[in-house]
């Protein structure tokens, strides 16, 4: 009786295994294999059921072989266990396929809807996808650019830079890489694209997948170029204006002509030594070039008077800073030219004119201009006295270092003359004058 029960259990297990195997048919692409396994198990069930049925119908147990029944049960259990264990694996594969199909559909949707060009490419240079926007903008169909090499050849994009940019993502696991590239379209138009590339995962063969998206910034680049050009032209117009103003004062006073150029040269040298910003140096250069423009309001008889000025004449001469400020502030320079000129006779102890400004109230550009102005004025011939020479001029600024003149500016000026072979040479000053135009 025991063997009958064992045979019945074996039969039942094989039947259940056959049903479970049939359930796997729809989960796998290898449906034929699982159909055959299921059918084989079903036949085994029938094969075991027939003698069992005969035995139960006739009541004879002569055909029972105990060893065979035990082995049959063990085999049935093993098959059942195997199928039970393998089922979750197929369900997992099915689920992952569904997820991957969903991702694929999402990517397809993004690619088709994105209003910007997209390239999906894999390590090794295969281009797996390009979207419609890219094809519309470049004129190249996906079939025309199957690899990165084709893309480079067709669009004339800068090869080394583009390869380096995507290689960084392939090899160094960077999160993203970007860069501006100029490309040529199929109809030979030049466009500037700003690329952003990012890793998109890995292919089954472990190659890294990268997505490169671009925005067409051609219009913006052209606008920037025009803006730079327009700024340059405005700057040149300002320089021309400054030069014209400088020439105006020079026609009235011969000495002022070379004086303004030499003061400009020395001021710029000091400013560079003090690491002033480019804008500060530019403002100082322009201000120094016309720092005595206000003298056009001072009678030339006073300016060229041989001998010392009277108090009234000196007061009239001093007003040139105010006049200079008034002339220059009527032009809306982008730099504080008028203010520097206004302050160039101020002294740090407040003894200067016209406003008696002190130390921090005076711009560094004006402090430099003040020192350069004094040094050049003293070292040159004046109508009322012969040149005192550069040594006396340097002695003067050193004597008043920290009282009239900024100590740092004085130190740099002295160093230029005494250690850096600086000198006022007419031709050198002319060079500077032409470089400001």
Binding positions for Fe ion, rule: CB under 5 A: 292
Query: Given 3-state DSSP classes, what are the helix, strand and coil percentages for the chain, each rounded to the nearest 5?
Result: 65, 10, 25
Q: C-beta of 375: minimal distance to Fe ion in Å?
A: 13
Residue nearest to Fe ion (CB): 292
**Closer residue to Fe ion (CB): 265 or 292:** 292
Burial class of residue 107 in the structure, from the number of CB atoms within 10 Å of its CB (0-12 exposed, 13-18 middle, 19+ buried): middle
**Closer residue to Fe ion (CB): 76 or 325:** 325
Q: Which helix (H) or strand (E) segment is 200 a member of?
A: strand 190-202
Write b or e for each residue in 154-192: b if 16 or more Cβ atoms lie within 10 A of its Cβ, otherwise e: bbebbeeebbebbeebbeeeeeebeeebebeeeeeeebb
Dihedral pair phi/psi, residue 362, rounded to 5°: -95, 135
Residues 135, 144: Cα–Cα separation, whole Å: 10
Q: C-beta of 321: minimal distance to Fe ion in Å?
A: 7
**Closer residue to Fe ion (CB): 119 or 404:** 404
**Closer residue to Fe ion (CB): 116 or 353:** 353
What is residue 389's DSSP assignment? -
**Closer residue to Fe ion (CB): 123 or 292:** 292
Residues 60, 54: Cα–Cα separation, whole Å: 8
Inter-residue contact 170 to 208 (CB < 8 Å)? yes
> ∠ CA(67), CA(68), CA(71), 5° rounding?
85
Contacts of 74 (CB under 8 A, 6+ apart): none
**Closer residue to Fe ion (CB): 118 or 378:** 378
Q: C-beta of 175: minimal distance to Fe ion in Å?
A: 59
Q: C-beta of 295: minimal distance to Fe ion in Å?
A: 7
Q: C-beta of 291: minimal distance to Fe ion in Å?
A: 6
**Closer residue to Fe ion (CB): 292 or 339:** 292
Peptide bond into 354 cis (omega under 30): yes
Task: Give the DSSP per-residue string, 251-282.
Answer: HH-HHHHHHHHHHHHHHHHHHHHTT--HHHHH
Inter-residue contact 241 to 332 (CB < 8 Å)? no
**Closer residue to Fe ion (CB): 122 or 348:** 348
Q: C-beta of 174: minimal distance to Fe ion in Å?
A: 59
Q: C-beta of 314: minimal distance to Fe ion in Å?
A: 12
Q: C-beta of 345: minimal distance to Fe ion in Å?
A: 6
Q: C-beta of 256: minimal distance to Fe ion in Å?
A: 9
- Cα-to-chain-centroid distance, residue 141: 30
Residues 209, 195: Cα–Cα separation, whole Å: 16
Q: C-beta of 160: minimal distance to Fe ion in Å?
A: 56
**Closer residue to Fe ion (CB): 374 or 412:** 374
Burial class of residue 271 in the structure, from the number of CB atoms within 10 Å of its CB (0-12 exposed, 13-18 middle, 19+ buried): buried
**Closer residue to Fe ion (CB): 191 or 295:** 295
């Amino acid at each position: 009786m025991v063997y009958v029960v064992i045979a019945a259990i074996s039969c039942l297990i094989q039947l259940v295994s056959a049903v479970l195997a049939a359930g796997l048919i729809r989960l796998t692409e290898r449906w034929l294999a699982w159909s055959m396994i299921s059918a084989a198990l079903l036949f085994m069930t029938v094969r075991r059921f027939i003698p069992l049925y005969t035995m139960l119908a006739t009541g004879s147990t002569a055909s029972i072989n105990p060893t065979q029944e035990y082995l049959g049960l063990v085999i049935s259990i093993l098959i059942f266990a195997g199928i039970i264990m393998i089922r979750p694996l197929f369900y997992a594969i099915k689920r992952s396929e569904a997820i991957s199909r969903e991702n694929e559909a999402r990517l397809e949707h993004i690619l088709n809807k994105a209003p910007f060009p997209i390239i999906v490419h894999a390590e090794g240079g295969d281009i797996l996808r390009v979207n419609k926007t890219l094809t519309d903008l470049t004129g190249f169909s996906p079939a025309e650019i199957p690899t990165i090499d084709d893309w480079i050849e067709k669009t004339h994009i800068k090869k080394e830079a583009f390869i380096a940019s995507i290689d960084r993502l392939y090899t160094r696991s960077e999160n993203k890489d970007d860069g501006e590239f100029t490309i040529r379209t199929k109809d030979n138009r030049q466009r500037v694209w700003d690329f952003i590339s990012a890793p998109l995962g890995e292919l089954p063969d472990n190659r890294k997948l990268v997505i490169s998206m671009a925005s067409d910034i051609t219009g913006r680049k052209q606008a920037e170029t025009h803006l730079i050009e327009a700024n340059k032209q405005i700057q040149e117009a300002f320089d021309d204006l400054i030069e014209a103003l400088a020439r105006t004062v020079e026609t009235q006073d011969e000495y002022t002509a070379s004086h303004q150029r030499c003061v400009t040269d020395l001021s710029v040298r000091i400013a560079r030594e003090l690491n002033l910003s480019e804008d500060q140096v530019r403002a100082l250069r322009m201000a120094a070039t016309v720092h005595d423009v206000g003298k056009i309001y001072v009678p030339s008889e006073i300016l060229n008077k041989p001998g010392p000025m009277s108090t009234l004449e000196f007061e009239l001469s001093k007003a040139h800073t105010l006049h200079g400020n008034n002339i220059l502030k009527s032009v809306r320079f982008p730099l504080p030219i008028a203010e520097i000129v206004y302050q160039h006779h101020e002294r740090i102890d407040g003894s200067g004119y016209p406003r008696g400004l002190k130390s921090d109230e005076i711009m560094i550009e004006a402090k430099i201009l003040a020192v350069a102005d004094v040094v050049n004025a003293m070292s040159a011939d004046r109508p009322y006295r012969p040149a005192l020479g550069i040594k006396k001029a340097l002695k003067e600024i050193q004597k008043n270092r920290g009282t009239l003149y900024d100590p740092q500016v004085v130190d740099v000026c002295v160093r230029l003359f005494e250690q850096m072979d600086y000198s006022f040479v007419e031709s050198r000053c002319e060079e500077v004058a032409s470089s400001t135009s």
